[in-house]
Homo-oligomer: A and B are copies of this chain.
Amino acid sequence: MTIARDKLRWNGWGRLGESVGFSRVRESYLREQLGHRLGLRLAPAAMPVALESIRLPPTKLGQSTLCALRAVCGEGGVRTSAFERITHALGKSLPDLLRLRRGEIGALPEVVVYPPDENGVAAVLRIAREGQLAVVTFGGGTSVVGGVEARAAPGQSGVLVLDTTRLDALIAIDPSSATATFQAGIDGPALEAELVARGRTLGHFPQSFEHSTLGGWIATRSSGQFSNAYGGIEELVVSMRVITPEGALRTVSVPRSAAGPDLNALLVGSEGTLGVIVEATLRTSPLPLVHDERGMLFRSFPESLAAVREVVQHGIPLSLLRASDATETELAQLLRRDPGRRFDLGALALRAASRAGYGPGRSVVLYGAEEMTRKAAGQHAAGARRCLRAAGGLPLGRAPGRAWRRDRFRTPYLRDWLLDQGLAVDTLETAAPWSRVERLHSGVIRALQDAMEAHAGAGIAMGHLSHSYRDGACLYFTILFPIDPARDLLQWSEIKREATDAILGEGGTLSHHHGVGSDHSSWMPVEKGALGMRALHAMKDALDPSGMMNPGKLL
Interface string of A521-555 (1 = CB under 8 A from B): 00010011111101111110111000000000011
Nearest opposing residue in chain B for A238, CB measure: B471
Contacting A174 at CB < 8 Å: which of B246, B435, B511? B435
In the complex, what residues of B have CB within 8 A of residue A270's CB?
260-261
Known: A177-B471, A178-B313, A473-B255. A260 touches B524 (CB 8 A): yes
Contact A257 B509 (CB under 8 A): yes
Nearest opposing residue in chain B for A511, CB measure: B258
Q: How far is the CA of A304 from the CA of B317 in the complex (A)?
A: 28
Contact A513 B176 (CB under 8 A): no
Contact A266 B256 (CB under 8 A): no
Contacting A433 at CB < 8 Å: which of B177, B251, B431, B529? B177
Chain A, range 221-278, C-beta contacts under 8 Å to B: 221-223, 232, 234, 238, 244, 246-271
Interface string of A126-166 (1 = CB under 8 A from B): 00000000000000000000000000000000000000000
Q: How far is the CA of A256 from the CA of B473 in the complex (A)?
A: 8
Chain A, range 426-469, C-beta contacts under 8 Å to B: 431-435, 467, 469
Q: How far is the CA of A265 from the CA of B467 in the complex (A)?
A: 21
Nearest opposing residue in chain B for A313, CB measure: B178
Q: Is A116 an interface residue (CB 8 A)?
A: no
In the complex, what residues of B have CB within 8 A of residue A246's CB?
531, 534
Q: Please give the distance in Å from A380's CB to the nearest CB on chain B.
A: 12
Q: Is A520 an interface residue (CB 8 A)?
A: yes
Nearest opposing residue in chain B for A251, CB measure: B532
Contact A260 B253 (CB under 8 A): no
In the complex, what residues of B have CB within 8 A of residue A537's CB?
542
Q: How far is the CA of A178 from the CA of B513 in the complex (A)?
A: 22
In the complex, what residues of B have CB within 8 A of residue A92's CB?
none
In the complex, what residues of B have CB within 8 A of residue A512's CB?
254, 256-258
Q: How far is the CA of A531 from the CA of B541 in the complex (A)?
A: 12
When all copies of this chain in the complex are counted, the total is 2
Known: A532-B263, A535-B263, A542-B538. A470 touches B253 (CB 8 A): no
In the complex, what residues of B have CB within 8 A of residue A302's CB?
none
Q: Is A507 an interface residue (CB 8 A)?
A: yes
In the complex, what residues of B have CB within 8 A of residue A251's CB?
532
Known: A179-B433, A266-B266, A541-B538. A258 touches B531 (CB 8 A): no
In the complex, what residues of B have CB within 8 A of residue A467's CB?
256
Contacting A471 at CB < 8 Å: which of B179, B260, B520, B535? B179
Contact B431 A220 (CB under 8 A): no
Q: How far is the CA of A554 from the CA of B471 in the complex (A)?
A: 31
Chain A, range 181-232, C-beta contacts under 8 Å to B: 220-223, 232
Q: How far is the CA of A511 from the CA of B537 in the complex (A)?
A: 28
Q: Is A514 an interface residue (CB 8 A)?
A: yes
Q: How far is the CA of A261 from the CA of B270 in the complex (A)?
A: 6
Contact A472 B177 (CB under 8 A): yes
Known: A260-B516, A266-B262, A534-B246. A254 touches B472 (CB 8 A): yes
Nearest opposing residue in chain B for A473, CB measure: B255
Contact B178 A255 (CB under 8 A): no
In the complex, what residues of B have CB within 8 A of residue A513's CB?
256, 258
Contact B260 A528 (CB under 8 A): yes
Interface string of A365-391 (1 = CB under 8 A from B): 000000000000000000000000000
Q: Is A309 an interface residue (CB 8 A)?
A: yes
Q: Is A508 an interface residue (CB 8 A)?
A: yes
Contact B249 A532 (CB under 8 A): yes
Q: How far is the CA of A238 from the CA of B471 in the complex (A)?
A: 9
In the complex, what residues of B have CB within 8 A of residue A220's CB?
258
Q: Is A88 an interface residue (CB 8 A)?
A: no
Q: How far is the CA of A512 from the CA of B262 in the complex (A)?
A: 12
Contact B261 A232 (CB under 8 A): no
Q: Is A283 an interface residue (CB 8 A)?
A: yes
Known: A538-B542, A543-B535. A431 touches B470 (CB 8 A): no
Nearest opposing residue in chain B for A267, CB measure: B261
Chain A, range 259-301, C-beta contacts under 8 Å to B: 259-271, 283, 285
Contact A256 B469 (CB under 8 A): yes
Contact A260 B255 (CB under 8 A): no
Known: A508-B254, A542-B535. A260 touches B431 (CB 8 A): no
Contacting A252 at CB < 8 Å: which of B261, B509, B539? B509
Q: Is A3 an interface residue (CB 8 A)?
A: no
In the complex, what residues of B have CB within 8 A of residue A261's CB?
265-270, 536, 539
Interface string of A315-330 (1 = CB under 8 A from B): 0000000000000000
Q: A177-B435, A259-B509, A265-B265 known; 18 other A-B pairs, CB under 8 Å? A: A176-B433, A223-B258, A247-B531, A248-B529, A249-B531, A254-B509, A254-B512, A255-B469, A255-B472, A256-B467, A256-B469, A257-B511, A258-B513, A258-B516, A259-B511, A259-B515, A262-B266, A264-B265
A-B contact pairs, 20 of them (CB 8 A): A174-B434, A174-B435, A221-B260, A221-B262, A246-B534, A252-B509, A254-B432, A255-B469, A255-B471, A255-B472, A255-B474, A259-B516, A259-B527, A260-B555, A261-B268, A261-B269, A261-B270, A263-B536, A531-B543, A538-B538
Top 9 closest pairs, chain A to chain B, by CB: A265-B265, A255-B472, A538-B542, A255-B469, A177-B433, A221-B258, A257-B509, A259-B510, A538-B538
